[in-house]
Amino acid sequence: MRKFEFQTDEYYHIYNRGVDKRQIFVDENDFIRFLTGMREFNIEKSIGSLRTLQALSACSCRHLEPGESTSLVNIICYCLNKNHFHFILKQQIENGITKFMHKISMGYTNYFNLKHERSGSLFQGPFKAVHINTNDYLLWLSGYINGNCQIHGLGDAKNYPWSSYKDYLYLRNGTLCDKKPILEQFKGLNEYEKFVEMIVNDSSERKEEYKKYLLE
């Protein structure tokens, strides 16, 4: 049981990994399915199942129409690695984070188990959450998450397709994340890129010190 309740308009570091450190993303379609769930399930009302690849291909990553529904969370940034993920989320409504994580975790587990002919839990227990209680921590964590693939030796973060970093640098026109709370605090994109590079280099050298933030 968590030692705190999620507060609306507060930021949280949300993360989890595969049970027994197993892969939770086996191929490109798995990454796409998870990202689609992050967008489609971020509303109060139910939209049905995205369980199969057929449902995925028929589903467009729509934008909410004004007044259609309320977002559960603001997604500030994310990184999906083969066996774990990281988000920064800002809760928009009461119990928004809990509802959002339940929807995407259950939906993705059902999809993954059906596709890969397995059963049982996919994730290592309930998702983990840390309250982001200072602005410095928020900025640092955005750099850590946007550069997370590089910290784990998966190549240049600017070229990694399964994180929000390319959106932050406007290397693609992604609309999943609310970048404004982070980028409005920097003079420009070059400054933010240098900031992320500094954190990536620092985190790679000081993994033991940052171990509580790492999933390996």
Choice between 207 and 105, residue whose per-residue pLDDT is larger: 105
pLDDT above 70 coverage of the chain, percent: 81
> Which region among 42-56, 65-79, 150-164, 177-191 has the lowest average model confidence (pLDDT)?
42-56
Q: Is the pLDDT of residue 44 over 90?
A: no
Q: Residue 21: is its pLDDT beyond 50?
A: yes
CATH fold for the domain made of 11-210:
Alpha-Beta Plaits (3.30.70)
> CA 15, 16, 22, 23 torsion: positive or negative?
negative
Residue 2's Cα: distance from chain center in Å?
Answer: 20
Percent of the chain past pLDDT 90, that is, above it, reads: 69
Per-residue CA distances from 108 to 37, 84, 102, 112 (Å) = 7, 13, 10, 6
- How many other CB atoms sit within 10 Å of the CB of residue 34? 22
pLDDT band of 149, cuts 50, 70, 90: confident
State residue 56's pLDDT score.
47
37, pLDDT greater than 80: yes
- pLDDT given at position 202: 83
Residue 93 DSSP class: S
pLDDT (tens digit, 9 = 90+) per residue, 177-210?
999 999 999 999 999 999 999 999 887 555 555 4
Please determine, for residue 153, whether its predicted confidence score (pLDDT) is greater than 90.
no
pLDDT category, 49, cuts 50, 70, 90?
A: low
More confident residue, 97 or 46: 97
Q: Which of 88, 108, 196, 195 is nearest to 149 (CA)?
A: 196
Q: What is the pTM of this model?
A: 0.85
